[in-house]
Amino acid sequence: MPTKDSFTLKDVFRRERLTSLLTALTLLAAAYVVEHFANTYAFEYSLRSTSNHVGDLILDNLPVVNLNFIIIEGALTAIIFGTLFVVFLRPRYLLFTLKAIALFIMVRALFISLTHVGIYPDHIVPGYGLFDGIYQYLNFETGLFFSGHTGLPFLMALIFWQTPLARYFFLALSCIGGVAVLLAHIHYSIDVFAAPFMTYSIFRIALYLFPHDHALIEPVADTALTALEEKQKRLD
């Protein structure tokens, strides 16, 4: 059987990894600043007469369904529990995950700053509760391309690909998020269907930029592979 992972949260704060941790936190903070200005710019641009909505083959044939409990409460809850999962249960993944998410946010901020299409009419708007206020403050609704509700869970699935339970959980969240934003008409279909492709590209860039952080994850995959090979040998 595979041995228990001895890597703990304390190991993240060791001297040899402290620079990487500070870099990750700095990149994440910078990413949110960039996203804020990108979303502010996108909102101001959306008020111009040229920012009109466009037709969408799928949305034109879908009823509008209020799924704010998934899009807002569900998304924020998933972020909270996902953070706790990585920090306390999978600290080995923390450095690479923080940097990959920061890269995801920055790339998405770039794309939402380029082309400005008006949001689809009759879309569901946030309410006036606490979670709705946090949702609007984080500007989840302003940027359309590409869907963060679809892309971010898919990125987590790619990071945890060697852990089947986590992989399927995050893939399920990605699908649920994609369906929810389409039914609520707050994203165009291209925003949703392009998200996995954009996210996979971001993941590959993160692998190239942060190989040492990803190398911390590789022993987990190696252990699982070794256990599988030993089991196969016993069967033979």
pLDDT in tens, 5-56: 788 999 999 999 999 999 999 999 999 999 989 988 888 887 787 778 889 9
Count of CB atoms within 10 A of residue 137's CB?
Answer: 9
In percent, the amount of the chain with pLDDT more than 70 equals 88
| 1 within some domain | no
Helices (H), the chain: 9-12, 15-46, 68, 75-84, 94-112, 130-137, 148-159, 164-183, 189-209, 211-215, 218-235
Note the pLDDT of residue 63.
94
At 147, the pLDDT band (50, 70, 90 cuts) reads very high
Query: What is the distance, to the nearest Å, from the Cα of residue 139 to the centroid of all Cα atoms in its chain?
Result: 14
Confidence of residue 230 (pLDDT cuts 50, 70, 90): low
**What value does the CA radius of gyration of the chain take, rounded to a whole number of Å?**
20
- Flag whether 173 is in a domain: yes
Domain that holds residue 15: 11-219
Quickly tell me which residue has 């402290």 as its tokens.
Answer: 18
In a domain, 210, yes or no: yes
Q: Give the long-range contacts of residues 217-222, CB within 8 A, separation 24 or more.
A: 217/92, 217/93, 217/96, 217/159, 217/162, 219/5, 219/92, 220/5, 220/92, 220/162, 220/163, 221/162
Q: Is residue 224 part of a domain?
A: no
* DSSP conformational letter for 138: T
Cα separation, 236 vs 65, whole angstroms: 54
Q: What pLDDT is recorded for position 229?
A: 47
Confidence band, pLDDT 50/70/90 cuts, at residue 232 = low
Digit-coded pLDDT (tens) for 172-192: 999 999 999 999 999 999 999
What is the per-residue pLDDT across 77-126, written as a single tens digit (0 to 9) for each? 999 999 999 999 999 999 999 999 999 999 999 999 998 888 888 888 87
Average pLDDT over residues 136-154: 82
Separation of alpha carbons 82 and 140, rounded Å: 17
Our measurement of the distance from residue 44's CA atom to the centroid of its chain's CA atoms, rounded to an integer in Å, reads 25
Question: What DSSP character marks residue 61?
Answer: G
Q: Read off the pTM.
A: 0.88
Instruction: Name the 3-class secondary structure at 5.
Output: coil
Give the pLDDT score at 43: 81
Considering only residues 4 and 54, tell me which one the structure prediction assigns the higher pLDDT. 54
More confident of the two residues 228 and 91: 91
Q: How many structural domains is the chain composed of?
A: 1
How far is it, in rounded angstroms, from Cα 69 to Cα 235?
48
Average pLDDT, the chain: 87
Position 223 confidence tier, pLDDT thresholds 50, 70, 90: very low
76, 195 Cβ separation under 8 angstroms: no
pLDDT at 1 over 80: no
Instruction: Report yes or no on 42 lying in a domain.
Output: yes
Q: What is the rounded distance in angstroms from the CA atom of residue 177 to the CA atom of residue 185?
A: 12
Res 139 pLDDT > 90: no
> Both tokens of residue 32?
């949110």
Identify the CA nearest to 25 among candidates 213, 173, 196.
213
Please state the rounded mean pLDDT for residues 144-148.
Answer: 91
Query: Taking 80 as the threshold, does the pLDDT of residue 221 lie above it?
Result: no
Q: Please indicate, yes or no, if residue 77 is contained in any of the structural domains.
A: yes
Q: Report the alpha-carbon distance of residue 105 to residue 99 in Å, rounded.
A: 10
- Token pair for residue 72? 């807002």
User: Of 225 and 146, which is predicted with more confidence?
Assistant: 146
Within-domain flag for 83: yes
